[in-house]
Amino acid sequence: MNNAAKNKLKDNLLKYFGILCTLSGLIALAIFIIDILMDGLQRLDWEFITSLPSRFPEKAGILTAWTGTVWVFCLTALIAIPIGVAAGVYLEEYNKKGALANLLEINIANLAGVPSIIYGILGLEIFVRILNLGGSLLAGSFTLALLILPIIIVATREAIRTVPKTIKEASFALGATKWQTISRQVLPASASGIITGVILALSRAVGETAPLIVIGALAYVPFVAKTPMDEFTILPIQIFNWVSRPQHGFIINAAAAIIVLLGFVFIMNGVAVYIRNKAQRKGQ
Amino acid sequence: MKINIISVLTIGTGLLLAACNSGQQNNAGIDNRELSGAIQVDGSSTVYPMTEAVAEEFRTVQPKVNVTIGSSGSGAGFKKFARGETDISNASRAIKEKEVNACRENSIEYLELRIALDGIAIVVNKENAWLKTITTEELKQLWEPNSRVRKWSDLRAEWPEEEIQLFGPSTAHGTYDFFTEEIIGESGASRSDYNAVSDYNVAVQGIAGNENAMGYFGLAYYTENKDKLKLISVDNGNGAVFPSLKTVGDGTYTPLARPLYIYINKKSAKRKEVMEFVKFYINNAAKLSKDAGYIPLSETEYGNALTQLNAISIK
């Protein structure tokens, strides 16, 4: 076998290995989704979505759980996006490179790897007790915002770095100030990257259970939250609670609730892709 | 975008409230002392289904009282209770010395009420033909720390020479504390080379799928999976006893039967809605404990609980 043939063989091997790797992930996901759909679809109806929790699996619904998840999603986004993006912009555009900058950078990268339950403990002390927010939606959202801030900051910085230097220089050359350059050139040009990062971070937040259990999110809440100071429950907690119950009917309910949560995350990702595509077209 | 979501939510909430209000009017005729307020409950995940059942029924009588229940575990529940953050604490074990002190430090006075009984079931695979009854001594040999028992034949010579697959709750569970306390004699002392589960349904699946598996968990998990599991009777020296409504209720299934508790903050109990809720709890505990998979206490014990409650409300 000559060298060219060998290399071609290697090429092909790598290609098929790549296909295999891709498929293994997809197949696992497909099996999971099919299994969940088979269990849960029969239970999924309007009544399930609009009913309060109950001890009878066939009467129980997820109204308080999904509204809690929507509340937490919105509040977390409102808190985390401005802070995260502003921090990213500062670190990338204003912060002088040096020892302090390096320290900050390492710390933020490390924060992204801290187990989520640690944020829960932090949130319990700071938001629930010191700031006296109690086990409220606001305390939960602040905690989740902390959790996803590092991801948003890193994503923002990466996105800003991809903006060509020439655009900034051209803006400065025309007499624009730093803020004008950032707000009119840099941010619009990096918007798609930032939004992708934000949505990935928020999707993670929506699936988190551990930190919210620590701060005191509940399992049984018979009313829909009306203000950010209300107590709450969320879909993952409801699912977790049902999965561990002895009655088989609750397992079916859990599967149905998982479908709703999956649907929510899919829709959010869809919205993200839509906004990103729009931003990209505008950027060009 | 975001504003839209919130406004939709607000409108949805409004509609829901309207729906709730119309429901209340129907009830108003039945109960002329309509209470309102919020009651916070947290604690044991074992007691959770029981308190959930009570809260659900209580809503039909007092729809304006919002009862919220967490299930962070007995220990975590007591921590909040001792800080005065909850009105009622669910517990699958009695309060510990340390927790009593914590309550005292924050001058939290409380009332302890037993609300039901729970049996711990010892179960094996359906195909297991040799095991019908096990003594507490054998359970100790099997579960004690650094246990040498690997195969069934290590327990009794006539049993097969097959390795035992053990399933049990993880250390965070009250069930684990209770089992080790009763069988080994020291809370938390257990061999560690078993499949520790945080979700009992995993143990049910594991035992149902392996001929040499054995495990322990709350009786309700056996009752709901009778077709997949085989229940083992336990012999404590006074003959073999199967856990059941009767044997757990009359105390013959020892030592693996335990009481479940609620702890009530006495200051909270002065609030009318809390007192009504706890009275409702005790009055309906016998019926609702069966729904939750637990075993009711005797009539006299519930009667005593009511007397204790009345004593507080008079003060």
* From B12, B69, B85, residue closest to A220, measured CB to CB: B69
Which pLDDT band, with edges at 50, 70 and 90, does A279 fall under?
A: confident
Return the pLDDT at B138: 94
Phi, psi of B38 (to 5 degrees): -130, 140
B80 and B40 in a single domain? The answer is: yes
Query: What single-letter DSSP state applies at residue A231?
Result: B
Contact criterion met (CB below 8 Å) for B173 and B196: no
- In terms of C-beta density within 10 A (0-12 exposed, 13-18 middle, 19 or more buried), how is residue A110 classed? exposed
Which pLDDT band, with edges at 50, 70 and 90, does B315 fall under?
A: low
Tell whether B118 is within 8 A of chain A (Cβ): no
Radius of gyration in angstroms for the set of CA atoms belonging to chain A, rounded to a whole number: 23
**Rounded mean pLDDT of chain B?**
87
Q: Does residue B15 lie in a domain region? A: no
Instruction: Give me the count of residues in chain A.
Output: 284
Return the pLDDT at B255: 93
Tell whether A249 is within 8 A of chain B (Cβ): no
For A145-192, write each residue's pLDDT tens digit: 999 999 999 999 999 999 999 999 999 999 999 999 999 999 988 988
Please report residues of B whose CB lies closer than 8 A to that of A251.
Answer: 201
For A105-161, write each residue's pLDDT tens digit: 888 888 888 899 999 999 999 999 999 998 899 999 999 999 999 999 999 999 999
Q: Residue A208 and residue A235: Cα distance in Å, rounded?
A: 10
User: What percentage of residues in chain B have a pLDDT greater than 90?
Assistant: 72
Residue range B4-19: mean pLDDT, rounded: 46
**Rounded mean pLDDT of chain A?**
90
Q: Residue B70 and residue A221: Cα distance in Å, rounded?
A: 9
Q: Residue B306 and residue B314: Cα distance in Å, rounded?
A: 12
Q: B67 vs A222: CB contact, 8 Å cut-off?
A: yes
Contact criterion met (CB below 8 Å) for B310 and B293: no
pLDDT > 90? residue B17: no
* Number of domains chain B is built from: 2
B207 and B197 in a single domain? The answer is: yes
Return the pLDDT at A109: 83
Q: What is the CATH number of the domain that holds B193?
A: 3.40.190.10
Please report residues of A whose CB lies closer than 8 A to that of B6.
Answer: 74
Please report residues of B whose CB lies closer than 8 A to that of A120.
Answer: none
Return the pLDDT at A102: 85
Residue range B58-87: mean pLDDT, rounded: 92
pLDDT > 50? residue A207: yes
pLDDT > 70? residue B24: no
B126 and B250 in a single domain? The answer is: yes
Return the pLDDT at A227: 92
Bridge partners (DSSP) listed for residue B264: B88, B111
Which pLDDT band, with edges at 50, 70 and 90, does B18 fall under?
A: very low
Q: Residue A181 and residue A280: Cα distance in Å, rounded?
A: 18
Residue range B274-278: mean pLDDT, rounded: 95
- In terms of C-beta density within 10 A (0-12 exposed, 13-18 middle, 19 or more buried), how is residue A224 classed? buried
B132 and B80 in a single domain? The answer is: no
- In terms of C-beta density within 10 A (0-12 exposed, 13-18 middle, 19 or more buried), how is residue A245 classed? buried
Please report residues of A whose CB lies closer than 8 A to that of B70.
Answer: 135, 216-220
Please report residues of B whose CB lies closer than 8 A to that of A243.
Answer: 199, 201
Return the pLDDT at A275: 77
- In terms of C-beta density within 10 A (0-12 exposed, 13-18 middle, 19 or more buried), how is residue A164 classed? exposed
Q: A246 vs B45: CB contact, 8 Å cut-off?
A: no
User: Among residues B206, B148, B184, which one has the least CA distance to residue B217?
Assistant: B206
Which pLDDT band, with edges at 50, 70 and 90, does A1 fall under?
A: low
Which pLDDT band, with edges at 50, 70 and 90, does B293 fall under?
A: confident
B104 and B125 in a single domain? The answer is: no
CA distances from A24 to A31, A262, B222 (A): 11, 20, 36
The residue segments making up the domain with residue B95 are 32-117+259-314
Which pLDDT band, with edges at 50, 70 and 90, does A283 fall under?
A: low
Q: A224 vs B13: CB contact, 8 Å cut-off?
A: yes
Which of B201, B202, B217, B223 is the best mutation test for A, with the most CBs of A within 10 A?
B201
Residue range B70-94: mean pLDDT, rounded: 91
Please report residues of A whose CB lies closer than 8 A to that of B13.
Answer: 67, 224-226
Chain A: give the shortest CA distance to residue B315, in Å: 30
The alpha carbon of residue B101 and the mean position of all alpha carbons in its chain are separated, in whole angstroms, by 24
Q: B201 vs A55: CB contact, 8 Å cut-off?
A: no
pLDDT > 80? residue B25: no
Tell whether A241 is within 8 A of chain B (Cβ): yes
User: Among residues A205, A225, A229, which one has the least CA distance to residue A132?
Assistant: A229
Last residue in a domain, options B257, B289, B304: B257
B199 and B250 in a single domain? The answer is: yes
Q: For the domain A46-283, what is the CATH code?
A: 1.10.3720.10
Residue-range domain boundaries for chain A: 3-43, 46-283
Return the pLDDT at B34: 84
For A78-90, write each residue's pLDDT tens digit: 999 999 999 999 9
Return the pLDDT at A284: 55
B131 and B244 in a single domain? The answer is: yes
User: What percentage of residues in chain A have a pLDDT greater than 70?
Assistant: 99
- CA dihedral sign, ordered A101, A106, A112, A115: negative
Which of B65, B68, B72, B207 is the best mutation test for A, with the most CBs of A within 10 A?
B68
B252 and B266 in a single domain? The answer is: no
Contact criterion met (CB below 8 Å) for A181 and A168: yes
Lowest mean pLDDT among A33-37, A102-106, B177-181, B239-243: A102-106
pLDDT > 80? residue B73: yes
Residue range B1-27: mean pLDDT, rounded: 44
Q: A244 vs B198: CB contact, 8 Å cut-off?
A: yes
Predicted-complex ipTM score: 0.80
User: Among residues A201, A198, A192, A241, which one has the least CA distance to residue A217?
Assistant: A241
Please report residues of A whose CB lies closer than 8 A to that of B120.
Answer: none
Q: Residue B145 and residue B155: Cα distance in Å, rounded?
A: 16
Which pLDDT band, with edges at 50, 70 and 90, does A278 fall under?
A: confident
Tell whether B243 is within 8 A of chain A (Cβ): no
Return the pLDDT at A123: 93
CA distances from A234 to A47, A71, A143, B291, B309 (A): 18, 9, 14, 25, 34
- CA dihedral sign, ordered B130, B136, B137, B143: positive
Q: B68 vs A251: CB contact, 8 Å cut-off?
A: no
Tell whether A107 is within 8 A of chain B (Cβ): no
Q: B52 vs A63: CB contact, 8 Å cut-off?
A: no
Residue range B64-88: mean pLDDT, rounded: 92
pLDDT > 70? residue B86: yes
User: Among residues A88, A279, A116, which one has the least CA distance to residue A205?
Assistant: A116
pLDDT > 80? residue B11: no
Return the pLDDT at B87: 96
Q: Which structure tokens are listed for B292?
A: 């939750």
CA distances from B176 to A240, B130, B205, B228, B254 (A): 20, 26, 19, 23, 16
Residue range A3-17: mean pLDDT, rounded: 91
B270 and B217 in a single domain? The answer is: no
Which of A213, A224, A264 is the best mutation test for B, with the most CBs of B within 10 A?
A224
B184 and B264 in a single domain? The answer is: no
Contact criterion met (CB below 8 Å) for B142 and B155: yes
User: What percentage of residues in chain B have a pLDDT greater than 70?
Assistant: 89
- CA dihedral sign, ordered B193, B197, B202, B203: positive
Which pLDDT band, with edges at 50, 70 and 90, does B101 fall under?
A: very high
B104 and B141 in a single domain? The answer is: no
pLDDT > 60? residue A253: yes
Chains A and B: how many Cβ contacts under 8 Å?
A: 89
- Provide DSSP, B158-170: TS-S-B-EEEEE-
Tell whether A268 is within 8 A of chain B (Cβ): no
B213 and B170 in a single domain? The answer is: yes
Return the pLDDT at B28: 38
For A43-54, write each residue's pLDDT tens digit: 999 999 999 999
Phi, psi of A91 (to 5 degrees): -65, -35
Q: B12 vs A251: CB contact, 8 Å cut-off?
A: no
Return the pLDDT at B16: 44
